Amino acid sequence: MDILEEYRGESDRTICIVGTIILSTKICMIDGNFSLYERDEILKTFPTNDPKKKEALLDIIDKASKDKNDIKYHAERIKKFIDPKHVNFLDFIIATLIKFAKADHHFDVKEQKLINQVVDIFDDHKHLNFFQTIKKKLSFK
């Protein structure tokens, strides 16, 4: 089952957070190694003191790390779930992906390519100067 399907009835905010966790996990895995450091960085980005919520976060990370679908697939799914009037959520996802791509102090060409694909998918959902700025600043083509 698609990871986001489990959250179909939830708010756009929840879908955004789940989607960001999925895409963040995928970007962290691009080098073939998903470290505990990277997992902990995801948990720090979405802090909670609630043990049930932390368990849910870890479950999403675990499912995303085992999921065979690529980042483009998940970006398309997120775009379908998030209402166009909540476009700032898409900005948040891109910003978070950039944060995780740089977390290991090395912004790999593969990471850049994946983020560019997500930007392209989200960009056709709306017209944002934010995406154009990101592409220009990070030399995305």
Which residue from 137, 104, 56 is spatially nearest to 129, judged by alpha carbons?
Answer: 137
CB–CB of 110/59 below 8 Å? no
- pLDDT tens, per residue, the chain with 141 residues: 688 888 888 888 888 899 999 999 999 888 787 888 889 999 999 999 999 999 999 999 999 999 999 999 999 998 888 887 777 888 888 889 988 888 777 777 888 888 888 888 887 655 545 556 566 556 654
Q: HSE of 29 in the Cβ direction (CA atoms, 13 Å)?
A: 17
CA–CA separation, 131 and 10 (whole Å): 26
**Which letter does DSSP use for residue 107 in this model?**
-
Cα 90 versus chain centre, distance: 9
CA–CA separation, 127 and 122 (whole Å): 9
Which residue from 113, 8, 13, 5 is spatially nearest to 67, judged by alpha carbons?
Answer: 5
Determine the pLDDT at residue 1.
66
End-to-end CA distance of the chain: 33
Cα 88 versus chain centre, distance: 14
Determine the pLDDT at residue 134.
64
Determine the pLDDT at residue 139.
63
What is Dmax (Cα atoms) for the chain? 42
